[in-house]
Amino acid sequence: MSESVNIYFKCKGRMYTLMMKTSGENITLSMLVGRICTKLELDESKVKLQLRYNAVLLGSTEEIYICDDEDVGVYISLGENNRRYVLYVEVITPPELPEQLSRVEVINKSSAGKNYEDEMRDNAAIVLCECEEQGTEPKEAIVEVDDTQDAEIGSQDESMDIHDDRGDEYVEPPPVVEADQFKKEWEDGIGLNLFQEFPSRAALQEVVDKGAFANSFGYVIKKSDKERYLLTCAKESCAWRIRASNIQNTSIYSIRKYNKMHTCTRISKSMTRMRKRKGTPELVAALLHDTFPGQMETPVPKVIMELVQTKLGVKISYSTALRGKRQAICDLKGSAEDSYKDINCYLYMLKKVNEGTIIYLKLDEEDKFQYLFIALGASIEGFQVMRKVIIVDATHLKNGYGGVLVFASAQDPNSHHYIIAIGVLDSENDASWGWFFEKLLTVVPDTPELVFMSDRNSSLIKGIRNVYFAG
Ligand SMILES: [Zn+2]
């Protein structure tokens, strides 16, 4: 590593340069922040800097935040010949830095008692890093924390959204005069707490959903976006509401305002309106998580229908039960969609740890996944000594996106299958098989003794013929 490190950073639309006369591994976060502050003529004790960069060459579109010395080390080591990604610097001047809500306190308050608890603890470290090091989130949190502390549950009626300065479009309607004898406040029975955190909006909704069913009230989602989530009672004049804010750069939602008291008339359980309310797949999934925590295998839809009926008193259809069952599995192992999203990172690492690996990824015009071809380095090497008989087969993928998983294998001297290459194609047609064999040709060269065996369709035969026996 050279004895000076050049850093290019951008702040408020202007580019700056820094030359740090030391070797890269000596640079710490405070050193870097100090130099940037000097350059920008800022008082280091009065501001906080948020540093991030976009490592496009790693195939990631997410911005990477620099929070500690380790992050600095990684960032510095990403540059070659002193050419580094531009560092984006955001200067945060908090009005005054109030005592920050300690993390321990937050966790204690999160007495979720659900199976999210573990997840929340896992996430806690990430959040801590953001709050303390970057100081972005507190911008919002400060405002919120202050007024929620004054307004502990029970006395927060005036402090609710009427005075919300964040621009919720929700306007408190004028109080509707209801028959006096019913004007008794009642508690929602969900048992949420301020600052309680949920891994996602959906997770929070699940809990509220169940609570609403159990306690016979309806709710409406007034706002649901990347920043906040606002639920109010279905009766417009009622004061019940929950507001959760997203914790920046995570999917976590934290309850910032909560009025658990309903001022509306309670709907009796026997009222048809509740009976008519439909169960959702999410509700089914939540119940399955509760009843069979962590299990992939859940009862058949018919049994789930009965379970929902007895436990929640809701009639659901067969398809809702099935969708809920699938949702529960998705919640546990992540969706197929997420897997496709991570494919670039996966392929990058696969190539990195397997020398000689050949990977082709084809996207369509809209940059969506189309075909994939993988031949591991070791497989390619081993094939040199195999019999030149190649078996090609495929199987359909059952992940909702369709497509086929195809593979080309040879036989080793012990007559064991030896996989040379695998591929994922959108479907079995001329274009996809043609593409697969084109790529296979780069791994398995065309020789006179080469034999293909397969029981697949005509597109495959056409593909082989066009690529291998074209000459
Ligand atoms: Zn209400």
Tell me, yes or no, whether 10 and 74 share the same domain: yes
Is 219 a member of any domain? yes
Instruction: Output the CA 114–ligand 1 centroid distance in Å.
Output: 24
| Same domain flag for 138 and 250 | yes
Tell me the CA distances in angstroms from 184 to 188, 208, 242, 269, 462, one per residue in order.
13, 22, 20, 17, 77
CATH number of the domain encompassing residue 34: 3.10.20.90
Q: How far is the CA of 173 from the centre of ligand 1 (A)?
A: 14
Residue appearing with tokens 């593909």: 463
User: Could you tell me the distance, in angstroms and rounded to a whole number, from the CA of residue 267 to the centre of ligand 1?
Assistant: 9
What's the pLDDT at 112? 42
Residue 57, CB-side half-sphere exposure with 13 Å CA sphere? 8
Decide if pLDDT at 390 tops 50.
Answer: yes
Distance 237 CA to ligand 1 centre (A): 8
Looking at the fold, whether 108 and 88 belong to one and the same domain comes out as: no
Q: Are 120 and 236 members of one domain?
A: yes
Whether residue 266 sits in one domain with residue 143: yes
Token pair for residue 173? 């309607």
- For residue 261, the CA-to-ligand 1 centroid distance in Å is 8
Ligand 1 center from residue 203 Cα (angstroms)? 21
Q: How far is the CA of 442 from the centre of ligand 1 (A)?
A: 67
404 with 325, same domain?
Answer: no
Same domain flag for 216 and 351: no
> Looking at residue 83, what DSSP letter applies?
B
CA of 217 to the centre of ligand 1 (A): 7
pLDDT digits (tens, 9 = 90+) for 158-180: 444 444 344 333 444 444 444 44
pLDDT digits (tens, 9 = 90+) for 172-219: 444 444 444 445 788 888 889 989 999 988 889 888 888 887 788 888
DSSP state letter for 259: E
What pLDDT was estimated at residue 95?
Answer: 60
Q: How far is the CA of 181 from the centre of ligand 1 (A)?
A: 16
Q: Is residue 69 part of a domain?
A: yes
**CA nearest 451: which of 359, 377, 387, 373?**
387
Dist. CA 266 → ligand 1 center (Å): 7
**Do residues 57 and 103 share a domain?**
no
CB-CB contact of 424 with 346 (8 Å)? no
State pLDDT tens for residues 95-143: 644 444 434 444 444 444 444 444 444 443 333 333 334 444 443 333 3
Pair 313, 402 in one domain: no
Q: Ligand 1 centroid vs 314 CA: distance in angstroms? A: 21
**Distance from Cα 309 to the centre of ligand 1, integer Å:** 24
What pLDDT score was predicted for residue 470? 64
Phi and psi torsions of 408, nearest 5°: -115, 125
Per-residue confidence at 256, pLDDT binned at 50, 70, 90? very high
pTM: 0.39
State the average pLDDT for the chain.
Answer: 76
For residue 288, how far is its CA from the centre of ligand 1 (angstroms)?
A: 28
Work out how many domains the chain is built from and give that number: 4
Q: Does residue 252 belong to any structural domain of this protein?
A: yes
The CA 297 to ligand 1 mean position distance, Å, reads 38
Q: Using the mean position of ligand 1's atoms as its centre, give its distance from the Cα of residue 32 in Å.
A: 53
CA of 296 to the centre of ligand 1 (A): 37
Distance 264 CA to ligand 1 centre (A): 4
Q: Mark which of 228, 249, 270 sits at the end of a domain.
A: 270
d(CA 107, CA 196): 8
- Are 348 and 312 in a shared domain? no
User: Which has more pLDDT, 424 or 84?
Assistant: 424
How close is the Cα of 113 to the center of ligand 1, in Å?
24
Q: How far is the CA of 232 from the centre of ligand 1 (A)?
A: 8
Res. 245 pLDDT band, cuts 50 70 90: very high
Q: Are residues 143 and 262 in the same domain?
A: yes
For residue 304, report the distance from its CA to the centre of ligand 1, in Å: 30
Indicate if 141 and 201 belong to the same structural domain: yes
Instruction: Tell me what pLDDT residue 322 has.
Output: 92
Domain termination residue (choose one: 303, 318, 334): 334
Kindly write down the DSSP assignment for every residue of 370-439, as one continuous string: EEEEEE-HHHHHHHTTS-SEEEEEEEE--SSS--EEEEEEEE-TTS-EEEEEEEEESSSSHHHHHHHHHH
pLDDT given for residue 400 in this prediction: 66
Q: Domain range for residue 357? A: 340-468
For residue 174, being part of any structural domain is answered with no
Q: Is residue 391 part of a domain?
A: yes
CA of 185 to the centre of ligand 1 (A): 9
Query: In this predicted structure, what is the pLDDT of residue 268?
Result: 56
Among residues of the chain, what percentage have pLDDT more than 70?
76
User: How many CA atoms are closer than 13 Å to the CA of 235, on its beta-carbon side?
Assistant: 18
Distance from Cα 279 to the centre of ligand 1, integer Å = 20
Residue 375's pLDDT is 93
Q: Is residue 451, in this structure, part of any structural domain at all?
A: yes
Chosen domain end from 270, 286, 315: 270
Question: Which is more confidently placed, 152 or 27?
Answer: 27
- The predicted pLDDT at position 402 comes to 78
If DSSP codes are grouped into helix, strand and coil, which group holds residue 288? Answer: helix
Please report whether residue 175 resides in a domain. no
Residue 61 lies in a domain: yes
